[in-house]
Amino acid sequence: MTDRTLTVDDCWNRIGVWAKGKKTCPKLDEFIHCANCDVFSAAGRQLLEREAPRGYLEDWREIISETKEELVVGTQSAILFRLGDEWLALATHLLDEVVPMRTIHRVPHRKSPVLKGLTNVRGELQLCVSVGRLLNVTRGEISGTNVVKGIYERMMVVSQNGQRYVFPVSEVRGVHRYRREDISDAPATSINCSVHYLKGIIEWEGKHVGLIDHDLLFPALTRGIL
């Protein structure tokens, strides 16, 4: 059995540009940086051309031969979040980013219940709105055995057709995939918010999640801030 251990003289760490202390390699006068040196290049070729470690090819052979999980086609994705005690979902492609809570600056002489004010996101002032107020979600505190420690309020930045809004949420849980047939009607008794802006209800970990109809949400937010 051959010894597959390869020893490389890493002179670049001893006397070259990555050495601690004084750089004493005489080749630096010619090449300026070790990356330009033929010794460095030759060492790289040695590493790339060396024999595979014992068991490496066997391990990959097993991985490749494993039965692959079939991908479920026809699914859609939504970002799950909580407002008060209410779980809601919004199409993932509308989400630009999730950011920590920011200071909200009120706009003088504007008394819209939907417009909270302006907030700074990456150096740009964005309109901050209350989706909870629009959906008539009462502010509350989630309780029970499923509470996760370390939950923090966040802000979601969403956009559609040039319209961009920021709104605070009680919690962001992540992306959930579902199929069209998983959507059920949204009776008023199954969820404590206005069903007018919902496409329906989807199930997630035993909870009813209101799937927001973004084609209704964005025009309503625009009307609400005027």
The pLDDT value given to residue 117: 93
CA-CA distance, 11 to 152, in Å (whole number)?
49
Residues sharing a CB contact under 8 Å with residue 102, sequence separation 6 or more, in sequence order = 119, 120, 121, 128, 155, 166
| 75-225 CATH pick, 3.40.50.720, 1.20.210.10, 3.30.565.10, 2.40.50.180 | 2.40.50.180
Q: How many other C-beta atoms lie within 10 A of the C-beta of residue 79?
A: 21
Residue ranges matching CATH 2.40.50.180 in the chain: 75-225
CA-CA distance, 204 to 102, in Å (whole number)?
29
Query: pLDDT tens-digit profile of 119-128?
Result: 999 899 999 9
The pLDDT value given to residue 147: 44
Contact criterion met (CB below 8 Å) for 89 and 184: no
Contact criterion met (CB below 8 Å) for 94 and 216: no
Could you tell me the pLDDT band of residue 61, with boundaries at 50, 70 and 90? confident
The pLDDT value given to residue 57: 81
CA-CA distance, 200 to 211, in Å (whole number)?
6
Query: pLDDT tens-digit profile of 152-197?
Result: 789 999 999 989 999 999 999 999 999 989 999 876 555 667 778 8
Give the closest residue to 211 by CA, choosing from 189, 183, 190: 183
